[in-house]
């Protein structure tokens, strides 16, 4: 095997063979994050549930009870929780991914490996958290007498995958930006917070007039959450226009994020 190092390699290409070679590193980095997080097993698992659950309770009280937010005929707690399962995955992995290079600065300046492994592996813990949190969702479905359908169970991993790729696309961009501009990490929480309100987590898509609904689709999470409610809870119709819009924007973010990341990736060790 020959390696050639030049000032400008074909930067936009992803070297799959190399990534395959480093697959064990991906495994061990994900394993490290999970291990460290769940070192105190019970606390770790409880925390994964605690965050979306508390948010659900607070949202139910304020938005469901007091503000009388419509929820497409579904009990508000389960309506909002179904959204929160995916939203929490998105928001926590986005901030996790964006800071991944700063947290692993030492490794980056001392060892070579395809850098993309770091952000990719840092999402895994969040996926585990999300799976634990979704157990509560199924618990609530039983409590509120919803049928757990085969279709819902098959679509669930698809939606998780979509969320993961949306995060990866946007996160790659921010993680690379974060290396160069250190104030990005202060802006990011604010950005994520704002994003919560333009994502149909608290409210249903139906409160937006039909003409403008597609704009919500610029946010990939809109399609994911809306489809999750329809398919998993089994109420209403899939909004294909919104979903395809979300898939398209996810693809665009992935490509843009990836290109920016690849462009600056090689200089991480010089700048960080």
Partner 1 sequence: MSSIIEVKNLSKKYTIGDRQGYVALRDVMMNIIKSPLSWFGNKVKLAVTHNKYNEFWALKNVSFSVEKGEVLGIIGRNGAGKSTLLKILSQITPPTGGEVRLGGRVGSLLEVGTGFHPELTGRENIYLNGAILGMKKKEIKAKFNEIVKFAEIEKFLDTPVKRYSSGMYVRLAFAVAAHLEPEVLIIDEVLAVGDADFQRKCLGKMSDITKKDGRTVLFVSHNLDAVERLCSRTMLINDGEVVSIGETKEIIALYKSKVSSLTVKEMILPPRDNTIVVFEKISMNTDDAVDVSDGFEIGQKIRIKLEFNIKESAKDIEISFKLRNSHEVDIMFSSLSDSCGFKFYEFQPGKYSAEIEIPNNFLMPGLYHIDLFATRPGFAGIDAQKDVICFRVFSRNTIKEINYGMGCVVSNATWSVTPLGRKTS
Q: Looking at 48-56, 80-88, 102-110, 162-170, which segment touches partner 1 (CB under 8 A)?
A: 102-110
Q: Nearest Cα to 215, choosing from 251, 242, 183, 250? A: 242
By CB under 8 A, residue 181 contacts partner 1: yes
Q: Looking at 1-9, 72-80, 202-210, 232-240, which segment touches partner 1 (CB under 8 A)?
A: 1-9
The binder of partner 1 chosen from 14, 20, 27, 244 (CB under 8 A): 27
220: Cβ–Cβ under 8 A, 6 or more apart, which residues?
Answer: 162, 166, 246, 247, 249, 250, 253
Min separation Cβ 40 and partner 1, Å: 10
By CB under 8 A, residue 111 contacts partner 1: yes
Min separation Cβ 33 and partner 1, Å: 10
> How many Å apart are CA 70 and CA 202, to the nearest integer?
9
- Please tell me the count of residues contacting partner 1 according to CB under 8 A: 41
140: Cβ–Cβ under 8 A, 6 or more apart, which residues?
Answer: 77, 78, 81
Min separation Cβ 230 and partner 1, Å: 39
Sole residue written with tokens 């917070």 = 193
Residues between 183 and 212 with contacts to partner 1, criterion CB under 8 A: 183-184, 187
DSSP state of 117: H
Residues between 117 and 176 with contacts to partner 1, criterion CB under 8 A: none
| Nearer CB in complex with partner 1: 31/138 | 31
By CB under 8 A, residue 107 contacts partner 1: yes
Q: How far is CA 150 from CA 3, 142, 228, 232, 233, in A?
A: 49, 15, 13, 9, 11
> How many Å apart are CA 216 and CA 198, to the nearest integer?
7
Q: What is the CA radius of gyration of the chain?
A: 20
Q: How far is CA 125 from CA 25, 53, 180, 216, in A?
A: 15, 18, 26, 28
Tokens of 56: 């659900």
Q: Nearest Cα to 103, choosing from 121, 126, 89, 86? A: 121
By CB under 8 A, residue 5 contacts partner 1: yes
By CB under 8 A, residue 42 contacts partner 1: no
The binder of partner 1 chosen from 135, 182, 244, 263 (CB under 8 A): 182
Tokens of 142: 């039983």
Q: Looking at 27-35, 58-66, 79-87, 159-167, which segment touches partner 1 (CB under 8 A)?
A: 27-35
By CB under 8 A, residue 35 contacts partner 1: yes
Min separation Cβ 91 and partner 1, Å: 21
Q: Which residues bind partner 1 (CB under 8 A)?
A: 1-9, 22, 24-25, 27-29, 31-32, 35-36, 39, 104, 106-113, 177, 180-184, 187, 266-267, 269-271
């Amino acid at each position: 095997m020959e390696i050639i190092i030049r000032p400008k390699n074909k930067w936009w290409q992803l070297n799959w063979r190399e990534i395959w070679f480093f697959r064990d590193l991906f495994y061990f980095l994900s394993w490290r994050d999970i291990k460290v997080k769940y070192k105190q097993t019970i606390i770790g698992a409880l925390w994964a549930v605690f965050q979306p659950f508390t948010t659900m309770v607070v949202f139910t009280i304020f938005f469901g009870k007091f503000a009388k937010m419509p929820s497409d005929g579904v009990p508000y707690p389960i309506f909002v929780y179904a959204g929160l399962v995916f939203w929490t995955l998105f928001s926590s992995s986005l901030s996790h991914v964006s800071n991944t290079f700063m947290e692993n600065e030492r490794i980056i300046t001392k060892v070579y490996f395809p850098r993309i492994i770091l952000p990719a592996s840092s999402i895994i813990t969040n996926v585990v958290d999300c799976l634990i949190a979704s157990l509560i969702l199924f618990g609530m479905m039983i409590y509120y007498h919803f049928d757990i359908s085969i279709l819902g169970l098959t679509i669930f991993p698809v939606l998780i995958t979509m969320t993961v790729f949306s995060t990866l696309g946007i996160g790659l961009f921010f993680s690379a930006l974060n290396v160069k501009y250190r104030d990005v990490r202060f802006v990011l929480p604010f950005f994520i917070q704002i994003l919560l309100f333009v994502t149909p987590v608290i409210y249903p898509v139906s409160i937006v007039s039909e003409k403008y609904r597609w704009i919500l689709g610029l946010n990939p999470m809109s399609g994911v959450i809306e489809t999750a409610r329809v398919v998993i809870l089994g109420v209403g119709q899939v909004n294909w226009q919104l979903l395809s819009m979300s898939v398209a924007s996810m693809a665009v973010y992935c490509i843009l994020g990836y290109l920016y990341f690849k462009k600056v990736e090689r200089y991480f060790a010089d700048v960080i």
